[in-house]
């Protein structure tokens, strides 16, 4: 099998590439940087420039499925121009893939696209699964909505579509955990706001395995990329501090302060989404890290993130 991966050099992409190679799945990948192009038999790079609608169509040669992860990070100040980039980096890349496939001969049968749990409204009481129809009125809710609509266009080409709505990804190679741990290491750790907001998290290994499970089992539909047991922001902070053997005596960080520091992006820290993983579990997928403490022990136990 050969897959085409967009966003292959990102945090999640690198983990999926590694797992593909462990399973003898060959990888083609698209990159906007010509210096990142490698031409190994099991890892072939191809250039694209979605803004200019340029793509090397050789990237689709012998490809059975696409894993679509490309999109600008949301962990950067949301200026009005950057908000446009967050949206366009998802919709333009998707549209370019769809339009290109319309005009060439190919053997692509399946697309698995990243999505995000930001589509679910902020709530301390709801327990969301993929059947929930109400879309969050937040900026991220709107981003995910147009992103998923763009991805649905693949189905018009007789390609099966799966979407994985990703939660808070925990990794020792960067991402959110690095930022969570930083103040804790210096004894300055504290929860955000009331600390009651739900954090639906997932260990990076489980997330990569989930993508590959959907690929290999050819499962269609919408799945939440979250572990079975969400936690509150307070529990997340306390568990990390306990593993790092650091005290937590600082008061909770108020919302207004983080709004001053981060602008509109502060909502990432304060929105609450308790999200169910039952749909993928019902398809036979087993999580290695069901609970937060073992997940953080694995990521933080032997080494502290730099």
The verdict on residue 284 lying in a domain is no
Percent of the chain with pLDDT over 70: 98
What does the block give as tokens for 281?
């579990």
The verdict on residue 264 lying in a domain is no
Contact in structure between 230 and 274 (CB atoms under 8 Å) = yes
Q: Which helix (H) or strand (E) holds 208?
A: helix 204-217
The verdict on residue 273 lying in a domain is no
DSSP string over 172-199: TTSSHHHHHHHHHHTT----BTTS-SEE
Contact in structure between 101 and 157 (CB atoms under 8 Å) = yes
Q: How far apart are CA 197 and CA 267, in angstroms?
A: 11
36 CB neighbour count, 10 Å cutoff: 12
- Stretch 180-193: mean pLDDT: 89
Dihedral of CA 43/91/166/102: which sign? negative
The structure's pTM equals: 0.95
Domain hosting residue 153, numbered range: 2-169+200-226
pLDDT at 139 (0 to 100):
95
- Measured torsion, CA atoms of residues 104, 106, 112, 118, in degrees rounded to the nearest 10: 0
Residue 117: closest CA among 232, 205, 199: 199
The verdict on residue 269 lying in a domain is no
pLDDT at 267 (0 to 100):
87
User: What mean pLDDT, rounded, does the chain reach?
Assistant: 94
> Is residue 133's pLDDT more than 60?
yes
CA 188 to chain centre: 28
CATH number, domain at 57? 3.40.50.720
pLDDT at 155 (0 to 100):
97
Contact in structure between 253 and 192 (CB atoms under 8 Å) = yes
Residue pLDDT, tens place only, 16-59: 999 999 999 999 999 999 999 999 999 999 999 999 999 999 99
pLDDT at 103 (0 to 100):
94
The verdict on residue 262 lying in a domain is no
> Is residue 198's pLDDT more than 80?
yes
User: 86-109 in b/e burial notation, b at 16+ Cβ within 10 A?
Assistant: bbbbbbbbbebbbebbeeeebebe
The verdict on residue 285 lying in a domain is no
The verdict on residue 268 lying in a domain is no
Helix 233-243 × helix 292-300 angle, to 10°: 40
pLDDT at 301 (0 to 100):
83
> Is residue 187's pLDDT more than 90?
no
The verdict on residue 126 lying in a domain is yes
> Is residue 304's pLDDT more than 60?
no
Residue 98: closest CA among 86, 113, 117: 113
Tell me how many domains the chain contains: 1
pLDDT band at 293 (very low <50, low <70, confident <90, very high): very high
**Residue 95: partners with Cβ closer than 8 Å, 6 or more residues away:** 150, 153
DSSP string over 18-79: HHHHHTT-EEEEEES-GGG--EETTEEEEEEEGGGTEE-GGGGTT--EEEE-----SSS---
Residue pLDDT, tens place only, 60-106: 999 999 999 999 999 889 999 999 999 999 999 999 999 999 999 99
């Amino acid at each position: 099998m050969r897959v085409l991966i967009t966003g292959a050099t990102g945090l999640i992409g690198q983990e999926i590439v590694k797992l593909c190679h462990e399973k003898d799945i060959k990888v083609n990948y698209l990159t906007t940087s010509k210096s990142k192009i490698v031409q190994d038999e099991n890892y072939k790079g191809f250039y694209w420039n979605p803004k200019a609608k340029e793509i090397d169509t050789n990237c689709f040669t012998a490809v059975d499925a696409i894993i679509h992860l490309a999109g600008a990070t949301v962990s950067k100040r949301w200026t009005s121009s950057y908000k446009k980039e967050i949206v366009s980096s998802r919709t333009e890349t998707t549209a370019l893939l769809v339009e290109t496939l319309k005009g060439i001969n190919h053997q692509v049968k399946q697309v698995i696209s990243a999505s995000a749990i930001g589509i679910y409204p902020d709530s301390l009481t709801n327990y969301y699964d993929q059947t929930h129809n109400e879309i969050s009125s937040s900026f991220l809710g709107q981003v995910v909505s147009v992103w998923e609509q763009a991805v649905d266009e693949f189905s018009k080409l007789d390609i099966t579509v799966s979407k994985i709505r990703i939660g808070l990804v925990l990794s020792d190679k960067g991402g959110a955990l690095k930022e969570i741990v930083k103040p804790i290491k210096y004894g300055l750790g504290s929860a955000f706001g009331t600390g009651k907001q739900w954090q639906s998290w997932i260990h990076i290994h489980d997330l990569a395995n989930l993508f590959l499970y959907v690929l290999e089992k050819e499962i269609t539909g919408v799945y939440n990329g979250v572990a079975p047991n969400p936690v509150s922001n307070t529990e997340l902070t306390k568990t990390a501090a306990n593993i790092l053997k650091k005290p937590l005596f600082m008061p909770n960080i108020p919302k207004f302060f983080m709004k001053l520091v981060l602008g509109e992006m502060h909502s990432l820290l304060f929105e609450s989404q308790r999200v169910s993983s039952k749909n993928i579990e019902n398809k036979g997928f087993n999580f290695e890290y069901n609970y937060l403490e073992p997940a953080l022990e694995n990521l933080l136990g032997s080494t502290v993130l730099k």
